[in-house]
Amino acid sequence: MPIALVRRPGPSLVDGIVTHQEPQPIDLVLALAQWEAYVGALRSAGWDVTEVEPADDCPDAVFVEDALVVFDDLAVITRPGAPSRAAEVEGAERAAITQGLEVVRIEPPATFDGGDVLKVGRTVYVGRTARTSDDGVEQLRAILAPRGWEVVGVPVTSVLHLKSAVTALPDGTVVGHLDHVDDASAYPRFLAVPEPAGAHVVLLDDHRLLMSTGAPATAEMYRSLGYRTVEVDISEFEKLDGCVTCLSVRIRR
Ligand code: GLY
């Protein structure tokens, strides 16, 4: 059974970082209900959902994907680019060890956010963003090259993370909204979607896509391609530049 690591949002979520939109108040009760529904969607799709210990002093800790990235049996513990997120990695590392994963760390002075990583087959696209430094990209390349992964750095200028701009369908087609994609030609197969939130999909399996309710036209497009969609309302996390991908770490072994 595939495993999804998640991290329950704490009261400090209301102080989460907002970079690419106007700040809006966060409804904490609604956020928790939305998070429970997100976890429920993963469980209903057959995922074994495991909670990483809370990091309630870190407002953005719910976006657990930024703290670790898993490649086969290896967990890369990141070095978040936002100082308020630095302490998130401690519990994330303990969770990785509990899962029996080998652990390596991104070392200072590099910075690296897991949301900047998009895996497509054995290719790892890494966004060069305000959060992930050139040194971070190079460290990941050095870690992964001997393990048979190719790291490709890509520019990201208009959104927080690479996966705020693009994700990929089960057949490897990269999907994104052209307003947020710096260079669609970086990807061998690219499909433009009609709504920015439609660019964010979690692959529940080869046929089902978990996505936000905020992109109904894109959901319809995916269904016309033969996929089933599972849509969850994550409005409170989207107010913090979050999306369905960064709310979990998926481990498929
Ligand atoms: N609010 C998510 C982040 O800025 O990292």
Mind listing the pLDDT tens digit for each residue in 120-161? 999 999 999 999 999 999 999 999 999 999 999 999 999 999
Q: What is the pLDDT of residues 192-224, one digit of tens each?
A: 999 999 999 999 999 999 999 999 999 999 999
Tell whether domain 3-251 is in CATH 3.75.10.10. yes
Cβ of 116 closer than 6 Å to ligand 1, yes or no, is: no
Cβ of 240 closer than 6 Å to ligand 1, yes or no, is: yes
Which residues are marked as active site?
161, 246
The pTM (predicted TM-score) of the whole model is 0.97
Ligand 1 centre to CA of 49 (Å) is 22
Residues 95 and 73: their CA atoms lie apart, in Å, by: 13
pLDDT at 30 over 90: yes
Residue nearest to atom 4 of ligand 1 (CA): 17
Q: Cα dist. 44→111, 208, 209 in Å?
A: 35, 12, 13
Cβ of 241 closer than 6 Å to ligand 1, yes or no, is: yes
pLDDT at 253 over 90: no
Closest ligand 1 atom number to CA of residue 63: 2
Q: What is the pLDDT of residues 68-107, one digit of tens each?
A: 999 999 999 999 999 999 999 999 999 999 999 999 999 9
**Annotated domain spans of the chain:** 3-251
Q: Is 42 exposed, middle or buried (0-12, 13-18, 19+ CB in 10 A)?
A: buried
Q: Who's near 12: CB < 8 A, 6+ residues apart?
A: 56, 57, 58, 59
Closest ligand 1 atom number to CA of residue 115: 5
Q: Is residue 250 very low, low, confident or very high in pLDDT (cuts 50, 70, 90)?
A: very high
Closest ligand 1 atom number to CA of residue 82: 5
Determine the average pLDDT of the residues in 8-32: 97
Ligand 1 centre to CA of 145 (Å) is 29
